[in-house]
Structure 1
């Protein structure tokens, strides 16, 4: 019998980690996008189809931000031990999260404050320095680390977790 149907299961560990990370990023960000809709102006006057479209488009953008941030960090500071060693794994996770926060801060400022592509409702707390919404920034402070943690928990089912310098 041909085992070609199991290619996903036989993929290298780094690729399985990347796939799972992006899956958790997609799920976490879709939930976040739906929950934060009331913090944007005009959401209550918009059809549910348009709101669903906005949430899906936002989630695709979030996936692109997360993937780009992770790949850039891996290219710049990654090494052959990622994701096998905890120290390398969490260093990359922290820097990829930071990249998402930095990009989102810039993007919210540019689109909401400068270009007025979207507006916040009174429900959106603002970060005073940049006058950007707090919820999109919290999204990037919370969702990527949770996604990395979920991937770690899935990895621990395959092999025991290890300490710094040891392999998964």
Structure 2
């Protein structure tokens, strides 16, 4: 039996399945990220346990809305009827740019203007934009990992598919 090319598996993926996988992966990953990086914010020291949990869950809700918005805009601007088989990298890049751009704006607005939250000294801050490294990385790492998962772009998947069909 011949090996099934990995691209054939990705080409048969339905856009709705891909979108669902992206959103579910993103929601779970954002929840985990929020709990993991909350010690970098002052609420970790000043908030009661219930306030900390509420903040992480509340922020995850916002992350899900940002995920839906940035990905929808990316699909509207760069998607094609053949997505996800085509235009995959372009859609991902647009979603990353929109997500990071919104994050920079949101961090500035909520730290400098509204003073809704604050960083602890532990938070690495990116010079010039004065945004925390963790929230910026969150909007690079999670969408990239979610997109990879949704499309099956994992390096070990190709070897597994070839091994099972070979």
Q: TM-score, normalised by structure 2?
A: 0.81
**Residues 112 and 132 in structure 1, CA contact (< 8 A), matched pair in contact too:** no
Instruction: After the TM superposition, list the runs of 4 or more consecutive aligned residues in structure 1 that deviate by more than 6 angstroms.
Output: 154-157
**Counterpart residue number, 1:3:** none
Match of 2:49 in 1: 48
Cα distance, 1:56–1:42 mapped onto 2, change above 3 Å = closer
CA RMSD of aligned residues (A): 2.1
Contact conserved, 1:17 with 1:151, CA < 8 A, in 2?
yes
Which protein, 1 or 2, shows the higher relative CO under an 8 Å CA cutoff with sep ≥ 6?
2
Q: Which whole-Å deviations, capped at 9, do the CAs of 1:13-72 have from their partners, x for residues lacking one?
A: 111111110101011111110011110013133222211111111111111111101111
Aligned to 1:116: 115
Cα offset, 1:105, TM superposition: 0.6
Aligned match of 1:151 = 150
The question of whether the paired residues in 2 share the 8 Å contact of 1:33 and 1:55 is answered with yes
- Asked if structure 2 preserves the Cα contact closer than 8 Å seen for 1:69 and 1:96, the reply is yes
Structure 1 gaps of 5+ residues are: 1-11, 161-168
In structure 1, the partner of 2:58 is: 57
The number of equivalent residue pairs is 146
Which stretches in structure 2 are left out of the alignment for 5+ residues?
1-12, 162-166
In the TM superposition, what is the alpha-carbon distance from 1:152 to its structure 2 partner?
1.7
Q: Which residue of 2 aligns with 1:138?
A: 137
Write out aligned runs for 1:34-113 (5 A). Answer: 34-85=35-86, 88-113=87-112
Give the secondary structure class of the aligned counterpart of 1:118. Answer: coil
| 8 Å Cα contact 2:84-2:151 kept in structure 1 | no
